[in-house]
Amino acid sequence: MQKLRGLFLLLMLLAGSAFSKDLKIYFIDVEGGQCTLIVTPKGESMLVDTGWPGNNSRDAERIALVAKKAKIKQIDWLLITHYHTDHVGGITTLMDKMKVVNLISHGTNTESGKGAAQLSKQYEEAKSKTKELIVKPGDRIPLAGLDIEVITARGDVMGKASSLARGAGDNALCGAAAKKEADPTENARSIGFLLKFGEFRFLDLADLTWNKEMEVACPVNKVGKVDLYLTNHHGLWASNNPAMVHALEAKAMIMNNGDKKGGDAEAIDSMRGAPGLKNFWQLHYSIKAGKDHNVEDPYIANLTSPGGFHFEVTAKTDGHFTILNQRNKFSKSY
């Protein structure tokens, strides 16, 4: 009986060790688009956007390589934040390479014209091969072991503070905030979400632009304080309104820019001056920002193009997390 009990405990231990207790987030380099792979402790996955089309299936290949590293064989949920080429353009090549079980979107494309029609056609073809979940603010994305709430979608913003928010409330930074010109594009229609894993919070608002950011943060900061923030819109100054970004008090920020796309000097300087920020990380060295505004080399995944190196985040339920730069194996823990 004692031997059987010991064998049972050993089998349980081995079964439990098949899965990590940590959350993994991979920020994949798609040369200035977005592509973020989230893998739960039980191995369920959500990919946020697909990067660009073409380039000899470059982005799909990079996604597949990271998926292999993460030990997943399919994408359980593919979230398309909005209908722009650098976010949804790679959907066809990705689905040719990997199985996608479910799609998440805000509905149909709100833009028109030849380019928009082509992207809509690609998405509709992809949708015919799988299932789709259309989300709105306040909805939950069903990833086991995580709590993910939709903050923005199709131009709508949550009317109250997120139930996942830590330290939400009146935002004193709103008094100095001013609006910019209204944005009629799909950027302002982006799906944005707040992810909670124990005490850890991660915010991804895709390409949300300035005025919509104010709706998220003013007069009430609806997303509260976060640990990790993916900078909006590849680090452009059309986004990353200080009234929102500074209110987040993020410990770390990751900018998904390309060498010639995103990474505006004014936006970088503003974000690096945010309260509570310990480190700012860039997927690429920003050529237009120049040496006076880029961060130090260890915090940049790709110093030249073509790139291909990614960031890997390991988060624990107690709120601690580590960012690893794949290029140089440099890491920082928070």
pLDDT per residue as tens digits for the range 270-311: 999 999 999 999 999 999 999 999 999 999 999 998 999 999
pLDDT of residue 12 exceeding 60: no
Q: Give pLDDT tens digits for 242-271.
A: 999 999 999 999 999 999 999 999 999 999
- 202-228: average pLDDT: 98
Closest CA to 137 of 170, 104, 159: 159
Alpha carbon distance 217, 239 (integer Å): 13
pLDDT of residue 5 exceeding 90: no
Cβ pair 309, 284 in contact under 8 A:
no
Share of the chain above pLDDT 90, in %: 93
CATH 3.40.30.10 fits 20-333, yes or no: no
Q: How many CB atoms lie within 10 A of CB 241?
A: 29
The DSSP result for 176-222, as a single string, is G----S---SGGGG--EEEEEETTEEEEE-TT--HHHHHHHHSSEES
Alpha carbon distance 329, 332 (integer Å): 10
Burial 32-56 (b: 16+ CB within 10 A, else e): bbbbbbbbbbebbbbbbbbbbbeee
Alpha carbon distance 195, 201 (integer Å): 6
Judged by average pLDDT, the poorest of 17-21, 39-43, 51-55, 136-140 is: 17-21
Alpha carbon distance 18, 92 (integer Å): 32
Amino acid residing at 186:
E
- 73-89: average pLDDT: 98
Using 50, 70 and 90 to split pLDDT, how confident is the model at 16? very low
Using 50, 70 and 90 to split pLDDT, how confident is the model at 177? confident
Cβ pair 25, 37 in contact under 8 A:
yes
Q: Give pLDDT tens digits for 164-173.
A: 999 999 999 9
More confident residue, 15 or 181: 181
pLDDT of residue 131 exceeding 70: yes
User: What's the DSSP call for residue 293?
Assistant: T
List helix spans (H) across the chain: 2-17, 58-69, 85-88, 91-97, 114-127, 210-217, 242-248, 265-272
Judged by average pLDDT, the poorest of 18-32, 34-48, 79-93, 289-303 is: 18-32
pLDDT of residue 17 exceeding 80: no
Q: Could you give the 3-state DSSP secondary structure of residue 223?
A: coil
Torsion angle defined by CA atoms of residues 14, 15, 19 and 21, in that order, rounded to the nearest 10 degrees: -80
Q: Output the pTM of the full model.
A: 0.93
Mean pLDDT (the chain) is: 94
Per-residue model confidence (pLDDT) at position 3? 54
Using 50, 70 and 90 to split pLDDT, how confident is the model at 2? low
Per-residue model confidence (pLDDT) at position 19? 53
